[in-house]
Amino acid sequence: MCINMECFGYRRNVPRTIAFSIVGVLTLGFLFLVFRWKPNWEIKLMYERCSLAEADVLLVRDVHQRWHTAPVRNEPIELPSEKRRRREDYCINGSPSVKVTVENSDVGEKVEFVPNDMTSDRNKNFKVIEQGLEENVPCADFYRTFTGFSEKEQQQRRQIYGRNEIFVELKTIPVLIFQEALNPFYVFQIYSVCLWIFGYNYIIFSVAIVVMSLISIMATVYNTRKQATTLRKMVRSEGKVRVLRAKDNVDDDSVFELIRETDLVPGDVIQLPLRGSQMSCDAVLISGNCIVNESMLTGESVPITKTPLPNPPIPLDSPPMMFNPENHKRHTLFCGTQVIQSRRIGKKSVLAVVIRTAMFGFVYVITIKILHKATVKDIILKALDVFTIAVSPALPAALTIGMVFAQQRLRKRNIYCISPQRINVSGMLDLICFDKYPYIWSIYRWNGHLSFFDGHRRRNSWGPAGSTNVPVNQMESEGATESERTGFSHFMPTIVMDTSNGNNNDSPRKGMMPVLPAHQIGVIRQFTFSSNLKRMSVITQTLGSNTFDVFVKGAPEIVASLCLEESIPDNFNDALKEHTMNGLRVLAMAWKPLAQNVTYEQAQGLERNDIECDLQLLGLLIMQNTLKPETPPVIEELNNANIRTVMVTGDNILTAIHVARQCGMIGPSELVVEVNVTPPSRDNKTKVTYTLNDVVNACSRQPSPSHEFSSKNQEEVALTLEDFHGNSDGSTYHFALDGKTFLALQEYTPHLIPKIAVKATIFARMSPDQKAQLVEVFQDMEYYVGMCGDGANDCGALKRAHAGISLSEAEASVASPFTSRTQNVECVSRLIKEGRAALVASFGVFKYMALYSMIQFTSVIIMNTIDSFPSDFMFMYWDIAITTIVALLVARNHAYPSIVAKKPLTSLMDPALLFSVLTNTVLQFGVQIAGYFLLTMQPWFTPLVKDRDDISNSYCYEATSIFFLSSFQYIIVAFLFSKGPPFRKPIYTNVLFFVSLVLLTIYTVSMMFFPIQAVNNYGELMELETYYYFVILGLAVVHFALALLLEVCYLADQCSPWFRSVTLYNCAGVLERACGKPL
């Protein structure tokens, strides 16, 4: 397997190493910190390029453009038997293979690979040392080659693949604290604190900042340690497993050896206990059946049955069937899943072959100070301090607090998130893909009859028959033979009993013979449902019969294609269309008897293709769908919000259309156009056909003739699509297509896919891979795509979507970022609302932090102009009392109860957001400048007389006036940027935040009009004339009014074009809307 990585070889350059080490010491270790943050810089500066064979360290750049460094550890390896036939893939210029390991401890990644050219200093292509047998291994090898290893062979394989364990390093708390403290933000905080303590003697403010930083560090360390401990407990394995060590007789216990799970290697044959176990590796089942719970991986809580890997006979001139993890996942037991029960076939043990183990894998300030003839120390301190203003101490909390509150609210709604960053993304969604079952519909209910075909006539008969599946272990009794226990002469993994005439559900007591009903069917072998084949089948034997039967169920059109033509009635297609157009779930059933000379052992070895042919069509199993009451309101809400809803299902296309109409995806008067593709032939080109579906609710129309066009003529394509746009009655249309058509479009006319997808609402008979490909198509069209489905069939689509929601009983799964335990589509609406609320809160915090920096920067610049500086108390009030409270409480607004058509901002470079930040920056600067000049015009004002022994010179009229005015500005922007409707509830519903702003405003006003001498002395605040306090309040009110005009009037209308071309006419328009009348 090739991977796309770039690898560069470097060897240590001693003179460079010495030189940069000296520089690191002279910079008091700062250079070493930079090297920690940018390891590729260290390699490039202290090492020199060389060939990979001579390298001491490798610099690797992965597909995500991330840099990794790895000391070279060359290990000669002896290839295992299954790889020796491909030795050229692992040899380098004929020399023995070497293994290179690249580790990234920060993200827990480890990649082992073999470069294909060790003589070059750069390499782009590598052969990854496959972590098992997941590729290029014939299925037959699992039965012939892997029959047990000796201890020596196992040791050789362990050298290649490593131990079967995931090592999670549990670092000590002091180490975690030290590493977290080296984060660039906290390094900056250390620099700021040192400057404030030693430069300005701001002891209390510095202590407060240190305490806040320590709390933040300890919270991060606690979460990191807790997650590492939890993960270590999850992946730590101390169990033992029975491994095959010989191949003489697999039924003899002497051939099995009990070893630790960590000693397993790919190729080991393990024996699975009958009463279930936890899988510690990936393994392919080669004998017996297993019932497995894969909810941890897929989010699907319904157990599934695993069957042995197929091993059909292959002609000599044909290539062998190769094992494929995706195609053969129904035969694979995955690491971490729970095997609920294992079932033997006869007396043969339940065996599996291990395929993969767990180890895989400043100019203005300086100029002013020089003009004022300040000392060099004063210039340096004031210049350095300007940098500390740009970053608030509350920045880490502010950047994440919105997602934290949203995640808590989602959890209360039984929606769990394993990727909090996706919460903000979910607020951008503008297209949602739904799997029809079971999230739009209730569980299918048998509507009370079967449709059986008798010759060419259809008749309805029989009500629901009572039956139950009884696992064999419920019928075991000590000392009883197979015939005595079950009535069958051979082992039956599952027995179906008819309970219509009595209650046989009670399990027999131990030692008691069960009362066997007269009519029983034993299931000998099961071929599980495949989304690609769209069917499943079983081989059965009826109690008292010596022959075997095959039963098949699946998609009607697929099953019919496997049946004898004479068994299919003339009205088959009409009956199928009638039921599907009414929204009924329809499955076809077929049957055939096996030859009388087929034995039990031969039946076990039959392949799927051998039995799923020449069938007799029995009839249609019809199940009624009941629309969930929560579905229509949610779909209507999404439609009203201009969020596209798309159905992606494996069902029949007519059933899907009916469902879409009932739930509101397609309006009653809207057209549905089915798309079909005829592949090219020798005489004809690819033909795309559009057919108007003739089932329209609440509207009577005659079917329109089909429209055809050649894929070669793109102008005709546009014309044909345009035919469906302008209907005489103003209705719109929706495209509907199935998986076969989607595949043909991808292969023959890929340029049409975006044109069709933009109006397509129904995608039926879609396989799991096609669902994931469809999500990518929408993403390429610049949609933010959400996917709602189950974690099994929709796993790929859930992961590909911007926000995937897996509906499962499990609290979390790796199938998707979000898991909802509420089994209906209400979770989609709730997630979008919370996502929008979190997104708006994040942008609001960003804007506040930007204005916080600019307000404080303006204040400091004005004070520096007169050789003054804010006091310790002023910084405490601005940064701790105001900004920290805002950062912690601003995101507590709950989401707005409805989804509106207006979309929230999605980019920091959006013109509206930039306009808001820019205009508010200019506004606050103008207000502070106006306040300063108004102060200097007062008759009682006396300029600052600088005290050279006091570096801050905070006790002056200018500093006091600017302190009060900027305090009001912080409160104003916090109020304005905490937006409410239409994405969040009003600000007053966030009680703590609203009350905090009110109290801060009251306290700031009280400090002006009701000064406390002790506070004034500590804060170095001068008492101003009372009337001037009203001037400061007036300036604050003017600031609030102008900022409110900008935020409410301008941004509410989203007049971003006006930002791009400001004109007098547009300015007048804004004022007209603000005043409510023409100017």
* Catalytic annotation, residues: 435
Strand 818-820 and strand 803-807: the pairing is parallel
Please give the Cα distance from 140 to 137 (Å, whole number).
8
Q: Residue 236: which of 167, 297, 293 has the closest Cα?
A: 167
Give the CA angle between residues 196, 201, 203 to the nearest 5°.
Answer: 80
Please give the Cα distance from 984 to 895 (Å, whole number).
4
Q: Are 528 and 581 in contact (CB under 8 A)?
A: no
Could you identify the residue written with the tokens 């601005």?
878
Q: How many CB atoms lie within 10 A of CB 30?
A: 13
C-alpha dihedral (643, 427, 829, 431), degrees to nearest 10:
30
Token code pair at residue 1050: 């301008």
Q: Are 657 and 693 in contact (CB under 8 A)?
A: yes
**CA max distance for the chain:** 118
Please give the Cα distance from 426 to 1022 (Å, whole number).
51
In angstroms, the Cα distances linking 543 to 512, 519, 672 are 20, 7, 50
Q: What's 452's DSSP letter?
A: E
In angstroms, the Cα distances linking 79 to 89, 132, 359, 1057 are 11, 12, 18, 65
**Those residues with Cβ within 8 angstroms of residue 507's Cβ, 6 or more apart along the chain or in another chain:** 474
Token code pair at residue 330: 């129904």
Please give the Cα distance from 892 to 990 (Å, whole number).
6
Please give the Cα distance from 1078 to 1074 (Å, whole number).
10
Strand order in the sheet with 304-306: 277-278, 338-343, 289-293, 304-306
Cis peptide before 632 (omega within 30 of 0): no
Beta-bridge partner residues of 432: 645, 786
Token code pair at residue 707: 């429209």
Please classify residue 570 by burial: count the beta carbons closer than 10 Å to its beta carbon, then call 0-12 exposed, 13-18 middle and 19+ buried. exposed
Q: Residue 123: which of 71, 53, 66 has the closest Cα?
A: 53
In angstroms, the Cα distances linking 1076 to 225, 1046, 1064, 1070 are 58, 15, 18, 10
Strand order in the sheet with 415-417: 415-417, 818-820, 803-807, 785-789, 431-434, 644-648, 760-764, 733-738, 671-678, 687-692, 707-710
**Those residues with Cβ within 8 angstroms of residue 444's Cβ, 6 or more apart along the chain or in another chain:** 437, 585, 623, 624, 625
Could you write out the DSSP letters of every residue in 707-746? EEEETT-HHHHHHHHHTTTS-TT---EEEEEEHHHHHHHH
Q: What's 810's DSSP letter?
A: S
Backbone angles phi, psi at 267, to 5 degrees: 105, -15
Could you write out the DSSP letters of every residue in 137-188? -BTTHHHHT-S---HHHHHHHHHHH--S--------HHHHHHHHHTSHHHHH
**Those residues with Cβ within 8 angstroms of residue 306's Cβ, 6 or more apart along the chain or in another chain:** 285, 289, 290, 291, 292, 330, 331, 332, 333, 528
Q: Are 351 and 269 in contact (CB under 8 A)?
A: yes
Please classify residue 375 by burial: count the beta carbons closer than 10 Å to its beta carbon, then call 0-12 exposed, 13-18 middle and 19+ buried. exposed
